[in-house]
Chains A and B, each alone.
Chain A
Amino acid sequence: MFPAEFDYERADSVAEAVDRLAAHAEAGTEAELLAGGHGLVPAMKAGERAPDAVVDLDTEELVGVTERDDALAVGALTTYADLADSALVRERAPALADAAGAVGDVQIRNRGTLGGNLVEAHPAADPPAAVLAADATLVLVGPDGEREVPAADFFVGERETVVEPAEILTEVRVATGGEATEAGTNDAGYVRRTHPATGYALVGVAAVLDRDGETVTDARVAATAAVERPVRLPAVEAALTGGPVDADAREAAAAAAADGLDDGRFRSDPSASGEFRRQLLATCVERALAAAGE
Chain B
Amino acid sequence: MADHDITLTVDDTEESLTVESRTLLVHALRDQLGYTAPNVGCESGKCGACTVSLDGDAVKSCTILAVEADGSEVRTAGALADEAGGELHPIQAAFHEEHGLQCGYCTPGMLMTTEELLDGNPDPSREAIRRALKGNVCRCTGYGNIVDAVETAAERVDASDRPDSATGDD
Contacts and interface: CB of A to CB of B under 8 A. Distances in A.
B106 interface: no
B116 interface: yes
B65 A106 contact: no
Interface in B66-111: 67-68
Contacts of B116: 106
A105 B68 contact: no
Contact of B65 (A37, A42, A81): A37
Interface in B5-30: 20-22, 24
Nearest to B132: A106
Interface stretch (B54-62, B138-146, B147-155, B158-166): B54-62
A107 B58 contact: yes
B43 to A, nearest CB: 4
A104 B132 CA distance: 11
A56 B63 CA distance: 14
A108 B45 contact: yes
Nearest to B2: A7
A111 B44 contact: no
A2 B58 contact: no
A270 B94 CA distance: 41
Given A5-B1, A8-B2, A110-B58, A199 B63 contact: no
Nearest to B1: A5
- The range of chain B's interface size is 20 to 34
Interface residues of A, number: 29
Contact of B134 (A54, A82, A105): A105
Contacts, number: 82
B4 interface: yes
A110 B165 CA distance: 14
A3 interface: yes
A281 interface: no
Give the interface centre of A8, A42, A46 by most chain B CB atoms within 10 Å.
A8
A45 interface: yes
Given A8-B65, A105-B135, A110 B59 contact: yes
Contacts of A104: 135
Contacts of B136: 105
B51 interface: yes
Contact of B20 (A1, A5, A41, A45): A5
B64 interface: yes
Contacts of B68: 34, 37, 56, 58
Contacts of A82: 169
A183 interface: no
Interface of A: 1-8, 34, 37-38, 41-42, 44-46, 54, 56, 58, 81-82, 104-108, 110-111, 199
24 contacts: A5-B1, A5-B20, A6-B1, A6-B22, A7-B2, A8-B67, A37-B64, A41-B64, A42-B44, A45-B24, A54-B21, A56-B65, A56-B68, A105-B48, A106-B113, A106-B132, A106-B134, A106-B135, A107-B51, A107-B60, A108-B60, A110-B59, A111-B60, A199-B134
Interface of B: 1-2, 4, 20-22, 24, 43-45, 48, 51, 57-60, 62-65, 67-68, 113, 116-117, 132, 134-136, 169
The 8 A-B residue pairs with the shortest CB-CB distance in the complex, in nearest-first order: A105-B135, A8-B21, A110-B57, A1-B43, A105-B134, A3-B22, A5-B1, A107-B135
